[in-house]
């Protein structure tokens, strides 16, 4: 019997490695051939050929993205620059009476100067103080403010990637989510974003990649659509540029 | 698989469902809503059959090389810091999950939807060692409170109305909650928020696992799967061994097919790719991440030419919504974890006990709507026929039906006997024919005549009239206009030259 939890994990690891060859070997046996050592050639990989060249103009991307986002109950604002973003968020915070705001620790958001624009509210910056429980801080927040890393117009989706400066909780726990999306990060197809992760490779992937396509929703009670079941119910995409 | 065998046969369970008016209407309404959503979404997207074919090809290839891709996934997941475990059976998987829970001294486990977990009946097992398992998908939470099992793969509480749900939730709240969807969902949000933040372990299923990066992918609308993979310190993911796809590029195809087929959405509100536990500097995400890879009967399908394609299934539920039988009897009538056409094939296949589950293979009209709906083109209707054949081959066929078929063969194989049988029928039926039809529910006629009228045998059968018909045709041919006649003669000549084939394909 293992002494500490770490010992036990090591024990389980050894067991798992021993089991792996039998488990995978069993599959080879059922498939009726030895296990291939080289990567099998994929006859078809990814989307059909006719799809790969498909691209909208920047303006059409914005239009389609906004249309998709609105169709699922999300809100969209098209803003000329980051100053307008600050004004928009400050305006909404005043309108809704937001007191607690949590934002990602990103240079673009720091440059916004939300702290000065919202003297009434408490603005926290993700993971800047080791003594704070950042999950709880996000859970009590009225607004979460994040930058979109990528977006795909065809499905109306925004991708946010985690890091030490970018909490997964910030786009999940607050009541209202504000996503700042610079136009140059908006692509046409989902595949344009996904292939970035193949290109980056395992070692450079963050722990969490989250595609968000609108407010949290459910139709589990009598097929009646409910918004904001677990995640944010009010979601703004602020398209900048 | 230790599937709970629901009492009785499919027919008995279906009758229960058919008597429940609300259930029948709810199932019909929901399946129609989802089916229409899918139809619109696939039509709007365009080239649907080409996407389906692409999805099928990717799944076929991955399953045909599952040993390579699974091994690759495991090695990459380990490199990401995931603790990977292998479970041959459901019992093995439960044992591993319980051991982790014990080691972590867990009090509560929050779960997002996982069909594998339903296969394992993990909640009961956790409860036995004093760990509270909380389902957090709104529908799953409701049916867990009711002590029931899911009746639909995508909308598990399809069979409950909001008054029943209000009663269940009021009990938890300790006060009377209004039967209003927003009020009820709001209560669950608040209640489960506390659970998410306090739980020791988060448990998820796995829609897809990416071999090249060791990432696991989840599709959801509510955000509970994100909660479960973001807040608790330990994450356990239960993964069917066949969930693999090679790359993120391939995920685009699955992300195109799955949400559109399941609910008619372009994409679910959240699609998350989790690659290992939190990085040491991250302030959220699990410290420790386990993936339990479950066989539990899946490998039985490998190398079986008739059933290997079952492993291509991406669990979208489109076949349920398309199935005329499912729409009438609902999910519980199937008696296993998986319902609808996929359940009718998967349950016996995973269990390898055709005898026990044979009757659900009969709960289908073989119309092929399931195949038409399937985003990866699994020929479910053909598999249902294979199952029926295997059942008969194994000697589990209906003895009476077998005897009847033998008798039928004896009569049909001999002209004299056939003639005698028809004559006897024509004389014998005089006792039961009323107004040109047979209405008696005696003996073998009961099943048919309960709802319909069996036609009587005509006074003169086709065979009995054949001599006259033959004569008439010959006479008729002679009077045929010369060009028609020559065309027909030409056709007969051609047919003889072609060796008597039917001339198509």
- Per-residue pLDDT tens for B193-232? 999 999 999 999 999 999 999 999 999 999 999 999 999 9
Banded pLDDT at B358 (limits 50, 70, 90): low
Optimal mutation site among B29, B37, B52, B67, interface A, most CBs of chain A within 10 A: B67
Contact A213 B270 (CB under 8 A): yes
Nearest to A166 by CA among A225, A108, A126: A126
Name the residue ranges covered by the structural domains of chain B: 48-297, 399-455, 462-497
* CB contact at 8 A, B192 and B141: yes
**Contact at 8 Å (CB) between B102 and B309?**
no
The helix/strand/coil state of A114 is helix
Q: How many angstroms separate the first and last alpha carbons of chain A? A: 61
Structure confidence at residue B7 as a pLDDT band (50, 70, 90): low
Work out the pLDDT band at B353, boundaries 50, 70, 90: low
Do A17 and A86 reside in the same domain of the chain? no
| Cα separation values, B420 from B415, B439, B457, Å | 9, 24, 14
Residue B375 has pLDDT above 70, yes or no: yes
Compute the distance between CA of residue B303 and CA of residue B307 in angstroms, rounded to an integer.
8
How far is CA B211 from each of CA B71, B191, B242, rounded to the nearest angstrom? Answer: 8, 37, 11
Give residue B477's pLDDT. 64
Residue A102, burial from CB neighbour count under 10 angstroms (0-12, 13-18, 19+)? buried
Q: Give phi and psi for B237, each to the nearest 5.
A: -115, 125
Which range, of A194-208, B193-207, B287-301, B419-433, averages the lowest pLDDT? B419-433
Q: What is the pLDDT confidence band of residue B357, given thresholds at 50, 70 and 90?
A: low
pLDDT per position as a tens digit, A127-140: 999 999 999 999 99
Length of chain B: 505
The SS3 of residue B456 is: coil
CB count within 10 Å of CB A66 equals 19
The residue range of the domain holding A170 is 57-240
In this structure, are residues B141 and B193 in contact, taking their beta carbons and an 8 Å threshold?
Answer: no
Tell me the shortest Cα–Cα distance from B279 to chain A, in angstroms. 7
Q: What is the layout of strands, in order, in the sheet containing B437-438?
A: B433-434, B437-438, B454-455
> Residues B372, B333: contact at Cβ < 8 Å?
no
Does the residue A52 lie in any domain? no
| Distance (Å, whole) CA A90 – CA A88 | 5
- The CATH number of the domain holding residue A130 is 3.40.50.10420
Residue A46 lies in a domain: no
Q: How far apart are CA B173 and CA B189, in angstroms?
A: 12
A44–B contact, CB cutoff 8 A: yes
CA distance B249 to chain A (A): 5
Residue B301 has what pLDDT? Answer: 94
Q: How is residue B262 written in tokens?
A: 């399941």
b/e sequence B173-204, b meaning 16+ C-beta within 10 Å:
eeeebebebeebbbbbbeebeebbbebbbbbb
Contacts of B136 in chain A (CB under 8 A): 230
pLDDT at B329: 85
User: In angstroms, rounded to a whole number, what is the distance separating the alpha carbons of residues B502 and A180?
Assistant: 67
Kindly determine whether residue B157 and residue A220, on different chains, have CB atoms separated by under 8 Å.
Answer: yes
Chain A residues with CB under 8 Å of B102 CB are: none
pLDDT digits (tens, 9 = 90+) for B269-300: 999 999 999 999 999 999 999 999 999 999 99
Looking only at the bridges linking them, the beta strands covering B437-438 and B433-434 are: antiparallel
pTM of this structure: 0.87
Q: Which residue of A has its CA nearest to B214?
A: A202
A225 phi, psi to nearest 5 deg: -70, 125
Q: Answer yes or no: is A17 within a domain.
A: yes
Shortest distance between the Cα of A52 and any Cα of chain B, in A, equals: 11
Whether A122 is covered by a domain: the verdict is yes
Would residue A148 count as lying in a domain? yes
Region class of B174: left (phi > 0), else alpha (psi between -120 and 50), else beta: left
What Rg, from alpha-carbon coordinates, does chain A have?
22
Q: Where are the alpha helices (DSSP H) in A32-133?
A: 49-52, 58-71, 82-96, 107-112, 114-117
C-beta separation of B449 from B438 below 8 A: yes
Cβ–Cβ gap A13/B275 under 8 Å: no
Whether the CB of A101 is below 8 Å from some CB of chain B: the reply is no
pLDDT of res. B18: 67
Tokens 């699609």 — which residue?
B271
Q: What percent of chain A has pLDDT over 90?
A: 95
Q: Can you tell me whether residue B305 is helix, strand or coil?
A: coil
Q: Write down how long chain A is.
A: 241
- A209 found inside a domain: yes
Q: Which residue has the higher pLDDT, A87 or B418?
A: A87
Q: What is the ipTM of this complex?
A: 0.97
Instruction: Kindly report the number of other CB atoms within 10 A of residue A193's CB atom.
Output: 24
pLDDT (mean) for B337-352:
87
Which has the higher per-residue pLDDT, B412 or A11?
A: A11
Confidence of residue B474 (pLDDT cuts 50, 70, 90): confident
B422 versus A185: the higher-pLDDT residue is A185
- B48-297, what's its fold? Rossmann fold (3.40.50)
Give the residue-averaged pLDDT of B177-193: 93
**In this predicted structure, which of A167-171, B7-11, B30-34, B497-501 has the lowest mean pLDDT?**
B497-501
Q: How far is B115 from chain A (nearest CA, A)?
A: 17
What does the pLDDT read at residue B478?
66
Between strands B215-220 and B270-274, the pairing is antiparallel
Q: How far apart are CA A19 and CA A29, in angstroms?
A: 15
pLDDT band (50, 70, 90) for residue B462: confident
Residue position matching structure tokens 């330990």: B234
Residue of A nearest to B85 (CA): A16
Are the C-beta atoms of B50 and A4 separated by less than 8 Å? Answer: no
Coil, strand, or helix at residue A71? helix
* Beta carbons of B161 and A222 less than 8 angstroms apart: yes
Same domain, A68 and A21: no
Q: For residues B165 and B186, what is the distance between their CA atoms, to the nearest angstrom?
A: 13
pLDDT classification of A121: cutoffs 50, 70, 90: very high
pLDDT in the model for residue B482:
76
For residue A146, give the nearest of A109, A98, A118 by alpha carbon: A109
Query: What b/e sequence results for B386-422 when a residue is b if at least 16 CB atoms lie within 10 Å of its CB, and e otherwise?
Result: bbbebbeeeeeeeeeeeeeeeeeeeeeeeeeeeeebb
To the nearest 10 degrees (0 to 180), the angle between helices B66-79 and B48-64 is 80
Residues 160-219 of A with CB under 8 A from B: 162-164, 167-169, 172, 189-191, 194-195, 197-198, 201-202, 205-219
With a cut of 90, say whether residue A117 has pLDDT above it: yes
| Chain A residues closer than 8 Å to B223 by CB | 172, 216, 229-232
Is residue A45 situated within a structural domain?
no
Give the bridge partners for B123, in sequence order.
Answer: none
- Measure CA B250 to chain center: 24
Mean pLDDT along residues B490-498: 81
Residues of A in contact with B182 (CB under 8 A): 226
Distance CA A141, CA A144 (A): 7
More confident residue, B479 or B346: B346
Contact B65, A40 (CB under 8 A): yes
Mean per-residue pLDDT of chain B:
89
CB-CB contact of B96 with B73 (8 Å)? no
Under a CB-based contact definition with an 8 Å cutoff, are residues B328 and B273 in contact?
Answer: no
How many folded domains does chain A comprise? 2
Nearest CB neighbour to B193, from listed A16, A139, A198: A139
Say if A43 falls within a structural domain.
Answer: no
Q: Are residues A8 and A70 in the same domain?
A: no
What is the distance in angstroms between the Cα of A176 and the nearest Cα belonging to chain B?
A: 14
3-class DSSP state for residue B84? Answer: strand
> How are beta strands B244-245 and B433-434 bridged, if at all?
unpaired
Query: A204 vs chain B: nearest CA distance in angstroms?
Result: 10
Q: Angle at Cα B27 formed by Cα B23 and Cα B31, nearest 5°? A: 175
| Better pLDDT: A154 or B414 | A154
A175: confidence class by pLDDT, cuts 50, 70, 90: very high
Which DSSP state fits A166? B
Residue pair A146/A103 in contact (Cβ under 8 Å)? The answer is yes
């Amino acid at each position: 019997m293992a002494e500490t939890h770490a010992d036990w994990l090591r024990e389980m690891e050894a067991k798992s490695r021993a089991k792996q060859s039998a488990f995978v070997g069993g599959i080879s046996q059922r498939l009726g051939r030895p296990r291939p050592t080289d990567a099998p050639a994929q006859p078809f990989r990814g989307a059909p050929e006719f799809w790969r060249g498909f691209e909208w103009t920047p303006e059409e991307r914005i239009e389609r993205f906004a249309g998709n986002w609105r169709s699922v109950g999300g809100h969209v604002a098209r803003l000329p620059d980051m100053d307008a973003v600050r004004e928009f968020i400050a305006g909404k915070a005043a309108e809704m009476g937001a007191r607690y705001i949590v934002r990602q620790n990103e240079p673009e958001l720091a440059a916004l100067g939300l702290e000065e624009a919202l003297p009434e509210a408490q603005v926290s910056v993700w993971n800047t103080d080791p003594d704070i429980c950042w999950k709880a801080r996000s859970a009590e927040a009225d607004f979460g403010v994040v930058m979109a890393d990528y977006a795909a117009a065809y499905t109306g989706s925004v991708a946010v990637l985690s890091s030490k400066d970018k909490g997964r909780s910030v786009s999940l726990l607050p009541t209202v989510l504000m996503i700042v999306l610079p136009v140059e990060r908006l692509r046409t197809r989902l595949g344009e974003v996904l292939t970035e992760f193949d290109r980056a490779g395992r070692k450079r992937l963050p722990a969490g990649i989250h595609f968000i396509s609108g407010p949290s929703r459910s139709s589990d009670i009598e097929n009646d659509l409910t918004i904001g079941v677990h995640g944010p119910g009010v979601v703004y995409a602020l398209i900048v540029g | 698989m230790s599937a709970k065998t629901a009492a009785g046969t499919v027919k008995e369970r279906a009758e229960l469902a058919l008597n429940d008016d609300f259930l029948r209407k709810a199932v019909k309404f929901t399946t129609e809503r989802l089916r229409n959503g899918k139809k619109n979404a696939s039509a709007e997207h365009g080239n649907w059959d080409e996407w389906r074919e692409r999805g099928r090809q990717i799944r076929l290839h991955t399953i045909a090389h599952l040993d390579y891709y699974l091994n690759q996934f495991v090695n990459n997941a380990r490199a990401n810091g995931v603790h990977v475990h292998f479970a041959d059976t459901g019992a093995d998987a439960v044992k591993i999950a319980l051991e982790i829970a014990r080691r972590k001294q867990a009090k509560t486990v929050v779960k997002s939807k996982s069909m594998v977990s339903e296969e394992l009946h993990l909640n009961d097992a956790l409860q036995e060692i004093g760990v509270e398992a909380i389902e957090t998908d709104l529908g799953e939470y409701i049916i867990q409170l009711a002590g029931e099992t899911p009746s639909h793969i995508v909308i598990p509480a399809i069979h409950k109305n909001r008054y029943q749900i209000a009663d269940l939730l009021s009990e938890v709240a300790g006060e009377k909650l209004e039967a209003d969807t927003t009020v009820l969902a709001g209560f669950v949000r608040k209640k489960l928020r506390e659970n998410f933040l306090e739980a020791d372990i988060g448990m998820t299923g796995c829609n897809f696992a990416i071999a090249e990066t060791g990432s696991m992918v989840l599709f959801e609308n509510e955000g509970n799967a994100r909660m479960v993979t973001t807040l608790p310190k330990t994450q356990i993911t239960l993964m069917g061994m066949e969930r693999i796809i090679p790359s993120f590029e391939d995920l685009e195809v699955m992300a195109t097919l799955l949400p559109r087929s399941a609910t008619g959405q372009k994409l679910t509100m959240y699609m998350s790719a989790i690659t290992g536990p939190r990085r040491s500097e991250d302030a959220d995400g699990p410290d420790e991440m386990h993936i339990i890879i479950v066989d539990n009967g899946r490998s039985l399908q490998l190398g079986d030419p008739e059933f290997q394609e079952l492993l291509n299934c991406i669990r979208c539920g489109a076949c349920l919504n398309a199935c005329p039988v499912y729409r009438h009897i609902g999910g519980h009538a199937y008696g296993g974890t998986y319902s609808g056409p996929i359940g009718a094939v998967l349950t016996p296949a995973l269990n390898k006990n055709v005898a026990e589950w044979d009757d659900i293979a009969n709960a289908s009209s073989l119309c092929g709507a399931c195949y038409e709906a399937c985003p990866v083109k699994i020929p479910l209707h053909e598999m249902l026929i294979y199952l029926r054949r295997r059942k008969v081959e194994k000697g589990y066929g209906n003895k009476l039906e077998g005897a009847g078929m033998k008798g039928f063969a004896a009569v049909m194989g001999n002209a004299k006997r056939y003639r005698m049988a028809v004559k006897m029928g024509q004389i014998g039926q005089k006792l039961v024919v009323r107004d040109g039809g047979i209405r008696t529910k005696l003996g073998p006629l009961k099943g048919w005549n309960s709802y319909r009228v069996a036609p009587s045998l005509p006074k003169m059968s086709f065979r009995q009239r054949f001599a006259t018909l033959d004569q008439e045709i010959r006479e008729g041919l002679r009077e045929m206009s010369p060009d028609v006649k020559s065309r027909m003669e030409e056709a007969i000549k051609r047919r003889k030259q072609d060796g008597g084939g039917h001339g198509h394909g």
